[in-house]
Amino acid sequence: MSTATELRSGKGHTDENFPVAKFIQKRHRGPILAFYRFVRAADDVADHPTLLPDQKLVLLDSLDAALTGNGPPDEEAEPLRHALAERGLTPRHARDLLDAFRLDAKKSRYADFSELMAYCSLSAMPVGRFVLDVHGEDPQRTWPASDAICAALQILNHLQDCGKDYTGIDRVYIPAEIFENHDARIEDLGAPKATPQLKAAIADLAVRTEKLLEEGRTLPDLVRDIRLAAELSAIYKLAQTLIRGLQHRDPLSEKVHFSKVGFAATALTAVTGTMIRRAFSRSSAPAKQGAL
């Protein structure tokens, strides 16, 4: 059987729909990129079009064992294992993601929105929690908003790639209840253009996702690290723009991803707004009294 490294898709952190360690401090990038590399390798295993489910599970288990030191070293796991040890961080978040990829190896349909959110609790929320942990942010203060944003980002990615996921790996993340509510068919995802019923189903999930995104709106103002706040603001603004577009556009036949120029302009606007807001907040705070 091939190794996880041999099955890599070639996709890197600069190819993602949203920034990965774009604005954060240099000293935090190493652990985050090690986490990304590990997760990307595991994701490529789970999404491989020719591997059987049992083969995927064996490879995912070997990555898990390598990460926790319970099995032979793996070149995809070693950088993260060392980064976790250096920072005194838990492998919990990476292992939650492995559980999501184990689900992907066996499960291809979701019944309702709550089932999809349960999947997001493994496939998306741990990513934000890990980034916050690396920065030493307060979990009680930041995790709830982060969880909401990360789940929204995950569903947004599912919607953008719904046709490709169906035709390429026969996986559908739009819940069955939403198809039923709009008299849409799963098979419609394989067409070159969405039917009115499928467009209505996509718009429905996009509206729910926008509400989820709104739950995390305050996250950039909750974190202490200003560069992390800038990155979160960029991600939020990009997601907000895309999710509103998906309420009206057809991801099967229309472009719903940002161009490089559009990506940069939207992110810059969000980052600038955050910097100004944080600077104004600091300047307007009452001065601390000196010792008497």
Handedness of CA 164, 168, 173, 179 (dihedral sign): positive
| The residue type at 155 | I
Q: Rounded to an integer, what distance in angstroms lies between the CA atom of residue 115 and that of residue 123?
A: 12
CA distances from 141 to 6, 73, 165, 279 (A): 40, 36, 35, 21
Angle subtended at Cα 220 by Cα 261 and Cα 87, rounded to the nearest 5 degrees:
100
Angle subtended at Cα 161 by Cα 103 and Cα 124, rounded to the nearest 5 degrees:
45
* Tens digit of pLDDT at every position of the chain (292 positions): 577 777 765 564 444 454 455 678 889 999 999 999 999 999 999 999 999 999 999 999 999 999 999 999 999 999 999 999 999 999 999 999 999 999 999 999 999 999 999 999 999 999 999 999 999 999 999 999 999 999 999 999 999 999 999 999 999 999 999 999 999 999 999 999 999 999 999 999 999 999 999 999 999 999 999 889 988 988 898 899 899 999 999 999 998 765 444 545 454 555 555 555 555 555 555 544 433 2
| The residue type at 113 | F
User: What's the pLDDT at 25?
Assistant: 87
8 Å CB contact between 235 and 244: no
User: What's the pLDDT at 290?
Assistant: 39
User: What's the pLDDT at 281?
Assistant: 59
Q: Rounded to an integer, what distance in angstroms lies between the CA atom of residue 20 and that of residue 17?
A: 9
User: What's the pLDDT at 283?
Assistant: 52
* Closest listed residue to residue 35, CA positions, set 115, 118, 93: 93
- Domain range annotation of the chain: 25-107, 108-281
Q: Rounded to an integer, what distance in angstroms lies between the CA atom of residue 224 and that of residue 212?
A: 23
Class of domain 108-281: mainly alpha
8 Å CB contact between 233 and 273: yes
8 Å CB contact between 38 and 109: no
User: What's the pLDDT at 13?
Assistant: 44
User: What's the pLDDT at 289?
Assistant: 41
Angle subtended at Cα 145 by Cα 273 and Cα 113, rounded to the nearest 5 degrees:
120
How many C-beta atoms lie closer than 10 Å to residue 7's C-beta? 19
User: What's the pLDDT at 5?
Assistant: 76
- Residue by residue, DSSP assigns 69-85 as TSS---TTTHHHHHHHH
